[in-house]
Amino acid sequence: MHTFIDDFALYFRRQGKSPETIKAYQKKLRQFCRERHITEISEINRESINSWISCLRDRKLTDGTIALHLWAIKAFLTWLKKEQRLECYTFDIFIPKPKEPDYVEFLEPDELELIFSLIDTETLDGMRLRTYIEVMINTGMRPSETLNLKITDIVGSEISIVGKGNKRRRVYFNDRARHWIKAYCDMRRDNCPALFVTNPKYSPRIPHAITLDRMEEQFRAVFRLTGLRKRVTLHTLRHTYATTLLANGCPTDYVARLLGHSKVETTRRHYLSIQHKHARKAHFRFLSYDADAPMNYEKQSGQGAPQPHAPSTHTDPYNPNPRYLE
């Protein structure tokens, strides 16, 4: 079965599927075959798949994770039948559609600063992580898009990338992002064209592009040290970019374009996250039944409504303590 799965991955690669999708499908298929003891194509049938679904449910996995397992199996069976001309089970099992969350997790400015304080930028690994975070929170790229960057891509303040669904979009680099990229590149002593590479100190091989799993592992290791009780991944950094723009007044349509979202509704989830946070603050700030407390906004501002904080006047892109959100 492993040979079939590898050939299936090669076919997906020729079809232009993303490396992340290919890797995820390979991993899910191998796990399915290993744990269900499947060695023959004929053993992939309704019974074995339903048994696998029950097993995944017992593990309390989300609908999204289960759906990924099933989409991998369905795609594999379709490839066997159409491309390999083999007799196999026609997939007809319901695939759950994961519910889109009403909000997204993001990091506050003080939380970012706490993370930065725990990164040792005197080391190559630390400088790589800090630079990676800076690029993500200042460009809004997806984690995989960021790792696909080459040093030669960073010329000027904008580049064109091919993102999810093979859609091309413009990505913009501010002074802060380019400052950290330069600092990291100046520390490196290799000729690898990739922007983010492995550390030759821990491997006898020539440095090569670092994997998403390794980058995620390093980020989570640092985040665990913060003691923050949030479910955070590298993708949270992209959410942080979006919520920061929205909190500072950037129109949703522009944010959607910057993120490469095909549907503005996807972007609005970030806006709802901001609203939720501000609503909570407003509750504790303004709710009072104290007779001596001001009961209208005119006494507070003289203008009949609470005034927003003035935008941050911070202009130094190299200061590690900007106010991303008011």
Which tens digit of pLDDT belongs to each residue from 191-220? Answer: 999 999 998 877 657 888 998 889 999 999
Count how many residues are written for the chain: 326
Our count of domains for the chain comes to 2
Which residue matches tokens 């039944």?
289
CATH number at 63 reads 1.10.150.130
Q: Is 292 exposed, middle or buried (0-12, 13-18, 19+ CB in 10 A)?
A: exposed
- Residue 301 CA: distances (Å) to CA of 79, 88, 135, 282: 66, 72, 39, 16
Residue 87 falls inside a structural domain: no
Domain boundary among 274, 289, 313: 274
Q: How confident is the model at residue 306 (pLDDT cuts 50, 70, 90)?
A: very low
Mean pLDDT of 236-243: 92
pLDDT value at residue 146: 94
Q: How confident is the model at residue 155 (pLDDT cuts 50, 70, 90)?
A: confident
pLDDT above 50: residue 75: yes
Residue 303 falls inside a structural domain: no
CATH number at 167 reads 1.10.443.10
The reply to whether 10 and 150 lie within a common domain is: no
C-alpha–C-alpha distance, residues 13 and 18, integer Å: 7
The reply to whether 258 and 166 lie within a common domain is: yes
Residue 284 falls inside a structural domain: no
Domain boundary among 63, 82, 101: 82
pLDDT value at residue 323: 38
pLDDT above 70: residue 312: no
Domain boundary among 229, 258, 274: 274
The reply to whether 47 and 145 lie within a common domain is: no
Higher pLDDT, residue 68 or 248: 68
Mean pLDDT of 275-284: 71
> Where is average pLDDT lowest: 156-160, 236-240, 256-260, 316-320?
316-320
The reply to whether 169 and 248 lie within a common domain is: yes
Which tens digit of pLDDT belongs to each residue from 2-59? Answer: 899 999 999 998 887 877 788 899 999 999 999 999 999 999 999 999 999 999 999 9
The reply to whether 148 and 20 lie within a common domain is: no
The reply to whether 173 and 71 lie within a common domain is: no
pTM > 0.85? no
Residue 214 falls inside a structural domain: yes
Which tens digit of pLDDT belongs to each residue from 245-271? Answer: 888 888 888 888 898 887 777 777 767
Q: How confident is the model at residue 304 (pLDDT cuts 50, 70, 90)?
A: very low
The reply to whether 68 and 178 lie within a common domain is: no
Residue 95 falls inside a structural domain: no
Residue 287 falls inside a structural domain: no
Question: What is the DSSP secondary structure assignment for residue 148, as one 8-state letter?
Answer: T
The reply to whether 244 and 139 lie within a common domain is: yes
pLDDT above 90: residue 282: no
Residue 282 falls inside a structural domain: no
The reply to whether 78 and 115 lie within a common domain is: no
pLDDT value at residue 114: 97
C-alpha–C-alpha distance, residues 20 and 181, integer Å: 24
C-alpha–C-alpha distance, residues 62 and 57, integer Å: 8
Residue 158 falls inside a structural domain: yes
Domain extent for 138: 109-274
Q: Is 154 exposed, middle or buried (0-12, 13-18, 19+ CB in 10 A)?
A: middle
The reply to whether 240 and 117 lie within a common domain is: yes
Which tens digit of pLDDT belongs to each residue from 94-145? Answer: 999 887 766 778 899 999 999 999 999 999 999 999 999 999 999 999 998 9
- % helix / strand / coil in the chain, to the nearest 5? 55, 5, 40
The reply to whether 186 and 270 lie within a common domain is: yes
The reply to whether 120 and 250 lie within a common domain is: yes
pLDDT value at residue 98: 80
